[in-house]
Amino acid sequence: MPRDQQHSDEKLLNDVRRVAKLCSREPPRKKDYTEHGEHAPRTVTLRFGGWNEAMKEAGFEPRSAIKETRDRPSTCPLCEEVDEGLDFHHWKYGENEMGCYLCRECHDLVHEGDGKAKQPGWLPAAIENLVTHHLKKHDKRDVDKIIERYNLPDVDDLVRREL
């Protein structure tokens, strides 16, 4: 059996289902599968042509990476200033892009120092900057609400660390 086919499709899908049950999360996130799966998420992704395709094959409804609407708000969620020219700030790029609209000033605050995009390790530094500035303005320490407010990817652990 070729190296990329050492495990049957059904064995991989059963392992995805096992991780979903273990983590009580349907579909499981790649992060969950990295921690608890018998294989690398890359193996699953390559076999089925993408993580969402694998989740469909396993019988799950894939999560939408982007909120259903990309309507441009008129208020920056970080500083809460009204600004008609908010820019979409990316947390993730490509097919599964994620982000939120921020004013230019808040965007620049998020990307200060090591948070400069395209720099290795920029995402944890940008999350640190975001949470620091969020707490100055809002003093709300709810991880889930912060993730929702800024449409963050699976970075619960980074947000929690900064709180």
Instruction: Calculate the average pLDDT of the chain.
Output: 83
Q: What is the pLDDT of residue 155?
A: 85
* Tens of pLDDT, residues 70-123: 577 889 999 998 877 788 888 877 667 788 999 989 998 998 887 776 677 888
CA atoms of 58 and 56, how far apart (whole Å): 5
Does this model's pTM top 0.85? My answer is: no
Q: What is the pLDDT of residue 67?
A: 45
Q: What is the mean pLDDT of residues 149-153?
A: 89
Q: How confident is the model at residue 66 (pLDDT cuts 50, 70, 90)?
A: very low
Q: At 55, list the tokens.
A: 């989740």
The DSSP letter of residue 82 is B
Angle formed at CA 106 by CA 105 and CA 111, multiple of 5 degrees: 100
Where do the structural domains in the chain lie, given as residue ranges? 3-57, 87-162
Dihedral angle computed from the Cα positions of residues 105, 123, 80 and 77, in that order, rounded to the nearest 10 degrees: 140
Contact present, 118 and 65 (Cβ < 8 Å): no
Q: In the chain, what percentage of residues exceed pLDDT 90? A: 25
Query: What phi and psi values does residue 118 have, to the nearest 5 degrees?
Result: 70, 5
